[in-house]
A and B are shown apart, each in its own frame.
Chain A
Amino acid sequence: DVVMTQSPLSLPVTLGQPASISCRSSHSLVYSDGNTYLNWFQQRPGQSPRRLIYKVSNRASGVPDRFSGSGSGTDFTLKISRVEAEDVGVYYCMQGAHWPLSFGGGTQVEIK
């Protein structure tokens, strides 16, 4: 099975400052169709997960452009250019290239 490893576990950030979350997979996430299936989800307190980024770097509908994704192969990054109060929550990376689909352990973003 593909293991997804996120870091850091917790990320205290000052409002208006940037934040960066790393995600590494144990296997390449390049699928047979040539696409790389690495996605990012945000889970605000008390809410269900919301898709932010799909296929490494594509923002989902309605996602602010302060969120961006990058990476390739097995190493990926989610960046928030300027953290806002509404960004507090847990962020998960998810791989969709291999079954069983799997998530990283999550990164808690909080305001300092």
Chain B
Amino acid sequence: EVQLVESGGGLVQPGGSLRLSCAASGFTFSSYWMSWVRQAPGKGLEWVANIKQDGSATYYVDSVKGRFTISRDNAKNSLYLQMNSLRAEDTAVYYCARLITGDADYWGQGTLVTVSS
């Protein structure tokens, strides 16, 4: 059974940093692109970042470029999102998702990040 379990969310002050993790199981993690998607409270879904199977390519939505870094450790079956210079508008539930061509077939349960003083 495919499982994606996010962790690392919490309350952080504006300008602060946080690192999210996603533990993957039930599939060959190193064979898939992976993504982070976020959802602000009461709002819709927004794609944040993608990373290729071997980590050699990454893509970011404009609003997080230069502040967020997606990475992975295939030996640990883990996906990460390093978030720096956090802003109030980054407050959201962050989901880890497995990508297949043009689609996201499995999602985690999400971890809440709150940016507030």
Contacts and interface: CB of A to CB of B under 8 A. Distances in A.
A14 interface: no
Contacts of B108: 48
B82 to A, nearest CB: 19
Interface of B is mostly: strand
Interface in B61-117: 61-62, 95, 101-110
Interface in B26-69: 35, 44-47, 50, 59, 61-62
A39 B50 CA distance: 18
Interface residues of A, number: 26
Interface string A9-41: 000000000000000000000010101010101
Interface residues of B, number: 20
B8 to A, nearest CB: 16
A48 B102 contact: no
B116 to A, nearest CB: 22
Contacts of A100: 47, 59, 61-62
Interface in A36-93: 37, 39, 41, 47-51, 54-55, 60, 92
Contact of B104 (A31, A47, A94, A106): A94
A103 B46 CA distance: 7
Interface of A: 31, 33, 35, 37, 39, 41, 47-51, 54-55, 60, 92, 94, 96-97, 99-106
